[in-house]
Every structure is written in structure tokens, then in C-alpha cells.
Amino acid sequence: MPSARESRAALQLLTSDALGATEDLFSRLNGSPEQRRLVLLETVPGLIDYYSDGSAALAADLYEEERDQAGVTKLYSVEPIVDDRVVKQRRGIAWAADPLFSETDEAAASALALSRLFEIVQPEIARPYRDTILGNRRQDPEAVGWQRITNGGCRFCRMLAARGAVYRESTVRFASHPNCHCTAVPVFVGNYTGEEASTIQYVASRRSKTPAQKAELRDYLDSVYGPDPH
């Protein structure tokens, strides 16, 4: 069975394959901008759904393996979690197709549209993996939290994974960004290692932050990880 990092690598391969399929689909579009957008709206959600099943299955396999490794004896049935997000996906796809209506250079407009489409497809396929880990962690009485698995990445992701932090609060979200390849691994009573996530890590995970919290987070990142290179 795969380790957490091997599972993360498998997810990255899966999303890369999905982006390749997206690029192939995009390259075969023709007709007016309206026609091309319509094809994207009709086909891309199905592509996302296909790869999302694989993403959730990878996470379910990892969850079961980590549970076995922790020596958990109480029975629990791991469920892959793939939420219905077609409406939100179509909104994102429509946004991605906007450059196709530009009267500027067609090649540049197409490149921008494809880049935007990648920004929709990649996170949507990574989401079921994370949702499966976090969703089952909330339902499994033997789970005490989850840890973030990253491979370097940006300073934001490194901060969220620092100290092998264990996120114990059941309501905490998995903070991510476009092209984020971080994953989560469940932590159980039998393999509970690492300190609980710090206050700044919990704050950084929130979807909404006050201006003061944003400033505090920015100052913390600058002081610990250096200025944002971007």
C-alpha cells in the first residue's frame, strides 16, 4: 500500500494526466467563441468527474492504510467523497472561456483561456482527495486529526505543514491555491505524533480573514520565510 508521499505523488500524476486531457480537448475546439464555450461547459465537468473518482479512491486507499498502520481495531468503512460541484465548475469554466471573446491576438487569447481552464480543473480534481481524508476523519471516532503533506512548495504551504502540525479541529478547512499539490493524511490515536496546529496555522486556514489577520499572517510569513518572491 502507498505511503502518504507516494499517494501524494500519485495524485499529482493523476492531475497532470487530467490537464493533458483538458489540453487535448481544448485543442480540438472550433467554431465561434460561443460554440467553443458551450462545448467546454458541456464536456469539462464530465472530465473532472471522471478524474475525481480516481482522486477520491486514492485518498480512501491511503486512509485505510494509515488506519491499519496505526493499529486501529475498531471497524470503520471508509467512503470516497466526491461532492456535486457542477454549478460552481461551470461558473469557473465560463470565466476561463472569457478570453476567447477578445478581439486581440487569437493565439494569446486561446493560451490565456487554457491557462485559466487549468486553474479550474487541477483544484477540482485535487479536492475529492482532501475531502475524502477530512470527511472521513470527522466521521471516524478513532481519528484525532490530520496532517498536511507538502513537497516544499510555496512559503504558505510550508508554513501550514510546519512542525508536522496536526489539525485537530473538525471544522478546519484545507487551505489551498491554484496548482497546489499538497495533500492530507489522517492521524489516529495509535499514531498521534506532532504538535497541534498553532493559532497562526488555524488562522491561515480560514477562508475569510479580517484585515488585521491578513496583516499578521503576511508579517509572520515575511519574518519566518522571507518576502514573497512573487
- Residue 52: inside a domain, yes or no? yes
Predicted pLDDT of residue 229: 67
For residues 63 and 78, is the Cβ–Cβ distance under 8 A? yes
- Residue 214: inside a domain, yes or no? yes
- Residue 230: inside a domain, yes or no? no
**pLDDT-derived band at 123, boundaries 50, 70, 90:** very high
- Residue 174: inside a domain, yes or no? yes
Q: How far apart are CA 98 and CA 116, in angstroms?
A: 9
The set of residues, in sequence order, having a beta carbon less than 8 Å from that of 84 and lying 6+ positions away, is none
For residues 195 and 179, is the Cβ–Cβ distance under 8 A? no
Of 47-61, 82-96, 173-187, least confident by mean pLDDT is 173-187
Which structural domain, as residue segments, surrounds residue 215? 4-225
Predicted pLDDT of residue 73: 87
Residue 58: count of CB within 10 angstroms of its CB? 23
**pLDDT-derived band at 194, boundaries 50, 70, 90:** confident
Give me the number of domains the chain comprises: 1
Predicted pLDDT of residue 230: 62
Does the pLDDT at position 179 exceed 90? no
More confident residue, 199 or 194: 199
DSSP letters spanning 128-177: HHHHHHHHHHHH-TTEEEEEEE-SS--HHHHHHHGGG-EE--TT------
- Residue 94: inside a domain, yes or no? yes
For residues 193 and 164, is the Cβ–Cβ distance under 8 A? yes
Average pLDDT, the chain: 92
What three-state secondary structure class fits 185? strand
- Residue 46: inside a domain, yes or no? yes
Predicted pLDDT of residue 153: 76
**pLDDT-derived band at 1, boundaries 50, 70, 90:** low
pLDDT tens-digit series, residues 125-162: 999 999 999 999 999 999 999 999 987 778 999 999 99
- Residue 47: inside a domain, yes or no? yes
pLDDT tens-digit series, residues 28-80: 999 999 999 999 999 999 999 999 999 999 999 999 999 999 999 899 999 99
Does the pLDDT at position 114 exceed 80? yes
